[in-house]
């Protein structure tokens, strides 16, 4: 038996409307449902502010569901100005759309509308970051792009030299162009010297970005100093952490931050089977990478601390992928620690359980003094 064909209704039908909007780069598809779930209208419109505003102004106040995309920020703001409620769905959670065997823009718009009409929590709605946070993250990601380009160029130079029988020694990226230039075989000067010049230019540009990030953290986001108390966490990671989370009070407990960033192990339990899986990686990839880099530094190079002792003890237990597990576990614990410091404004003590003489400064006070930071007299948010 074939399913009944949905009849088109007039736009002026009574009742609340639910609209699904599948955003495209040039053209977006939409589907309008009435209160009974019948299709009233479906078509496509150009993805530009003028066309969007002209089209959605004709509808009464409605619920509009759309997925996160390049255009979702300004489209959701435009919809709110038109009097609608914008519901931005998380596409990673809505597998009914991404796993559909007959996926197309028209079907996606209709599915968004039906899910929003049934239960908006099925879409796992998200909130866009503020414009200020987005501007800061744009600065950090621009720097990351230059770092990735420099790394690719360095690997290119090493790859060009190796077939000649030479092997370039280990060197830090900032000093690579200067130190490796005399070691390049003469026959490869025409191929590599221009690349070394580009590496040198990128290094100088990255340094300018670093100065801008330090000034931004110092002048506009002084709370970042609370996070940089932890050895291994710099202004870049602190700003990325604060801007990605947005509101420090959005989490009832600091333990929830690790799950939000995607550092919680996945689960696929069925009956008596409960396999051990890797982390979910649901959150922001850039912030998660920064925390993992900080964890490597804490475990391998940072001075003694409770966090380092805990991670090394976990690594010593061995087992399959013991080293990788310890890094991820320290990253998750570091995320919880950073959020706690941010919320409470506490002075960080690397060794809380280490006995100290009453007349001597604590390890946390020494850390602050070394960084020329004044400890806050009272917690910034006692209601955390």
Is residue 379 assigned to a domain?
no
Give the whole-angstrom CA distance, residue 227 versus residue 257. 14
Task: Report yes or no on 383 lying in a domain.
Answer: no
7-16, 178-187, 276-285, 302-311: least confidently modelled range: 7-16
In terms of Cα–Cα distance, which of 110, 117, 122, 109 is closest to 16? 117
Of 202, 219, 236, the last residue of a domain is: 219
Q: Select from 123, 154, 177 the last residue of a domain.
A: 123
CATH number at residue 89: 3.30.420.40
Are residues 366 and 239 part of one domain?
yes
Residue 7: inside a domain, yes or no?
Answer: no
* Nearest of 17, 25, 67, 16 to residue 42 by alpha carbon: 17
Nearest Cα to Cα of residue 46 among 73, 68, 76, 71: 71
Q: Which of 339, 160, 187 is nearest to 251 (CA)?
A: 339
Residue 283 lies in a domain: yes
Mean pLDDT of 62-88: 92
Structural domain count of the chain: 3
Give the chain's count of helices (H) and strands (E): 14, 5
Sign of CA dihedral 309, 310, 311, 316: positive
Assess whether 215 and 233 both reside in one domain: no
Res. 382 pLDDT band, cuts 50 70 90: very low
Residues 208 and 286 in one domain: no
pLDDT value of residue 94: 79
Residue 46: which H helix or E strand, with range? Answer: strand 39-46
Q: Is residue 355 part of a domain?
A: yes
Same domain, 365 and 283: yes
Q: Which range marks the domain in which residue 340 is found?
A: 224-267+276-370
Distance of CA 118 to the CA centre of its chain: 29
> 350 near 364, Cβ under 8 Å?
yes
Whole-Å CA distances, 294 to 335, 338, 346: 10, 12, 20
- Please give the residue that has the higher pLDDT: either 259 or 275: 259
Torsion over CA: 246, 247, 250, 254 (sign): positive
Q: What pLDDT, on the 0 to 100 scale, is given for residue 270? A: 73
pLDDT of residue 363: 43
Same domain, 140 and 54: no
- Residue 360 and residue 237 share a domain: yes
Q: Residue 380 domain-assigned?
A: no
Contact indicator for 354, 361 with CB cutoff of 8 Å: no
Neighbours of 22 (CB within 10 A): 25
Both tokens of 355, joined, read 């006995």
Q: At what angle do helices 131-161 and 235-245 cross, to 10 degrees?
A: 130
Instruction: Tell me the percentage of the chain whose pLDDT exceeds 90.
Output: 60
Would you say residue 284 has pLDDT above 90? no
| Cα distance between residue 153 and residue 173, in whole Å | 10
156 with 184: CB under 8 angstroms? Answer: no
Residues 144 and 238 in one domain: no
DSSP 8-state secondary structure symbol assigned to residue 377 = S
Q: What is the pLDDT of residues 190-223, one digit of tens each?
A: 999 999 999 999 999 999 999 999 999 999 999 9
Task: Indicate whether 359 pLDDT > 60.
Answer: no
Give the CA distances from residue 123 to residues 119, 225, 251, 313, in Å, rounded to whole numbers and listed in that order.
8, 36, 20, 40
Residues 354 and 244 placed together within one structural domain of the fold: yes
Let me know whether 239 and 322 are in one domain. Answer: yes
| 64 in any annotated domain | yes
Q: Containing H/E element for 313?
A: helix 306-316
Q: Is the pLDDT of residue 6 over 50?
A: no
350 and 238, same structural domain?
yes
Verify that 86 and 103 share a domain, yes or no.
yes
Q: Give the bridge partners for 85, in sequence order.
A: 63
Per the document, the length of the chain is: 384
Domain end, chosen from 72, 106, 123, is at 123
The verdict on residue 3 lying in a domain is: no
Q: What is the pLDDT of residue 265?
A: 75
Q: What is the DSSP string of 51-64?
A: HHHHHHTTSPS-EE
pTM: 0.77
| C-alpha to C-alpha distances, 234 to 68, 240, 246, 280, 290, nearest whole angstrom | 30, 10, 18, 26, 10
pLDDT (0 to 100) of residue 54: 93
281 pLDDT band, cuts 50/70/90, is confident
- Residue in the block written with tokens 């609370």: 226
Tell me, yes or no, whether 358 and 256 share the same domain: yes
pLDDT above 60: residue 369:
no
The pLDDT of residue 9 is: 42
Residue partners of 243: CB distance under 8 A and separation at least 6: 129, 133, 134, 136, 137, 140
pLDDT of residue 71: 92
Rounded to an integer, the average pLDDT of 122-150 is 91
Lowest mean pLDDT among 66-80, 111-125, 308-322: 308-322
| 292 and 261 Cβ atoms separated by less than 8 Å | no
* Banded model confidence at residue 332, pLDDT cuts 50, 70, 90: very high
């Amino acid at each position: 038996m074939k399913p009944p064909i949905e009849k088109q209704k007039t736009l002026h039908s009574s009742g609340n409307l639910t609209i699904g909007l599948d955003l495209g780069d040039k053209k977006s598809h939409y589907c309008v449902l009435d209160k009974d779930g019948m299709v009233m209208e479906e078509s496509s419109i150009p993805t530009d502010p003028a066309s969007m505003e002209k089209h959605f102004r004709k509808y009464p106040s409605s619920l509009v569901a759309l997925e996160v995309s390049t255009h979702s920020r300004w489209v959701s703001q435009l919809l709110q100005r038109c009097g609608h409620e914008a519901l931005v769905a998380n596409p990673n959670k809505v597998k009914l759309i991404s796993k559909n065997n007959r996926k197309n823009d028209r079907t996606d718009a209709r599915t968004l509308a039906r899910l929003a009409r049934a239960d908006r929590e099925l879409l796992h709605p998200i909130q866009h970051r503020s414009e200020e946070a987005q501007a800061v993250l744009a600065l950090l990601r621009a720097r990351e792009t230059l770092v990735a380009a420099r790394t690719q160029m360095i690997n290119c130079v090493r790859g060009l030299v190796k077939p000649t029988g030479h092997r370039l020694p280990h060197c830090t990226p900032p000093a690579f162009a200067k130190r490796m230039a005399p070691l390049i075989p003469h026959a490869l000067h025409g191929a590599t010297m221009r690349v070394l010049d580009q590496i040198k230019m990128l290094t100088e540009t990255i340094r300018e970005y670093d100065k801008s990030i330090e000034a931004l953290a110092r002048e506009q986001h002084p709370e970042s100093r609370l996070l940089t108390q932890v050895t291994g966490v710099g202004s870049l990671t602190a700003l990325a952490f604060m801007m990605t989370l947005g509101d420090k009070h959005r989490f009832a407990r600091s333990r929830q931050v690790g799950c939000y960033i995607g550092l919680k192990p996945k689960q696929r339990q069925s009956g008596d089977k409960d396999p051990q899986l890797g982390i979910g990686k649901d959150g922001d990839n850039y912030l998660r990478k920064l925390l993992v880099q900080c964890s490597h530094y804490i475990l391998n190079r940072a001075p003694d601390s409770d966090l380092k002792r805990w991670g090394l003890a976990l690594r010593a237990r061995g087992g399959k992928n013991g080293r990788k597990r310890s890094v991820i576990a320290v990253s998750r614990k570091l995320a919880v620690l950073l959020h706690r410091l941010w919320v409470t404004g506490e002075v960080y003590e690397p060794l809380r359980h280490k006995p100290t003489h009453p007349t001597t400064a604590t390890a946390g006070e020494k850390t602050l003094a070394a960084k020329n930071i004044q400890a806050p007299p009272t917690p910034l948010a006692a209601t955390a």
